[in-house]
Structure formats: C-alpha cells, structure tokens
Amino acid sequence: MASPLTIAFADDHPLLLRGIMNLFEDDPAYSVVGKADCANTALDLVRRHVPDVVVMDLSMPGDIFQTISEMAAQFPTRIVIFTAYSSIDAALKALEAGAVGFVLKDSDSEELFDAVSTVSAGEMYITKQYALQVMNGLRERAKRDSSKGKVRLSPRERQIARLLAEARTNREIAEALQISERTVKSYMSALMAKLKARNRVEVAMAAREYVELESDEPQEYPLTLRR
C-alpha cells in the first residue's frame, strides 16, 4: 500500500482553513502535516515538514510571492495556490514565482483534490477558467526579452530544460541525469542568463521555444488544462 501524500495548508481564514483540512484529513490517501496563517509561518511550516504539497492562499499577510520563490528554490514541495484572487496577472505572478498549481476558491472541492493529485505527479494544474490565458501569458512573458532562434542550447541544457518543464526539482533533475545538484544549479544559472529568464518557469517556457526550433519533432510537456 502506497504511503499517503503529505500535505500542508496556509490560509488566514480560520473557518475555511479548517474546512479544507477536514476534507483532506478524511481521505486516507493524504496526511495533513500542518497549517499556517501568513507567509512567514508558511515558509517555516514547509521548512519543518517538507510536505509533498502545500496549498496556499495569496491574500495572507507577508510577501507571498517572495515566499513562493523561496519555497520553490529550497524545497521539493509542490505549491498549489488556492485563492479568491480572480486575476490572470496574479496567476502568472504566482506561477512565475514557482507555484505549479492555481485553483480559485469558488471551484468545487473535487477540483482542489484534482489539482493536488496532478501536481504531485509532476504536472502543472491551472484552474479551468484561466488555463489557456495563463499558458499563453507564460509563453509571451518567457520570450518577451529573448531573440527567438538566436540562442542554441547544448544537449545537456536541453535535457535540463525538458525536465524542468515537467516541474522536476533540482534534486530530481540531478537524479535523472546522474549529476550533482550543484551541477544542476550551475546549468540553471547559465540557462537563465542565456534565455534572459528571471525564474524557473520562464526558463522552461523560453527553452521550449528553442527546443522546438531545433527539432523536427514536436515536444510534449505535461500540463493539465481543465475545461
């Protein structure tokens, strides 16, 4: 029998937080390891428990987007945003910071479970209202400062870019390619500079454009779009 997926929650609305936690605590497939009510305590929570998934609100006190960036850079935890912020810009900013899921609070509980399951499998999940707009926005932002076709990636850089597009962490990329995490970080720095990308999401999206240019075969990347 598979071990339950560990999950944590961060939201500053106590009643909503308790209700969501109850839903996951009642499901034997999940083990709830803790809760937080602001950006700082959310980061401390992930640092302590390193859960498989953390479900976070965007409207908590503190610098939420900086917290997302730090979590994504330091831990293998998958970050799902669960928010009432019905804004494409908010979704883009959260995903660019390192989140791999975005779900609106007016969605039903089934969609939140679906999002958690999807990101834990290494895919990206975008709430159904925003899926196409968000992915188009990510593509445009990723190539906005790049000169398409003028940058060529080495075979190793393409390998890392493809794994990054699958929402792999540095540790998982290192294991897949049998190299050290320090080497992965060095390649990431080089890719960010070469592709003029500001973060991991922009590296993945910009690299996709170049990989497609250099290959006759279309590249497939896992993304769950809900309609």
Query: Average per-residue pLDDT in the chain?
Result: 80
pLDDT at 155: 74
Contacts 24+ apart (CB under 8 A), 59-67: 59/12, 59/83, 59/84, 59/85, 60/10, 60/11, 60/12, 61/12, 62/38, 63/39, 64/39, 65/93, 65/94, 65/97, 66/39, 66/97, 67/39, 67/40, 67/42, 67/43
Tens-place pLDDT, residues 191-223: 877 777 767 777 777 766 655 555 544 333 333
What's phi and psi for 5, nearest 5 deg? -75, 130
pLDDT at 94: 87
> Per-residue DSSP letters for 201-218?
HHHHHHHHHHHHHT-SSP
User: Helix, strand, or coil here: 151?
Assistant: coil
Tens-place pLDDT, residues 17-41: 999 999 999 999 999 999 999 999 9
Q: pLDDT over 90 for what percent of the chain?
A: 33
Tens-place pLDDT, residues 79-104: 999 988 777 888 888 887 888 899 99
Tens-place pLDDT, residues 124-136: 888 877 777 777 7
pTM, two decimal places: 0.67
CB 60 within 8 A of CB 37: yes
Residue 107 structure tokens? 């969605």
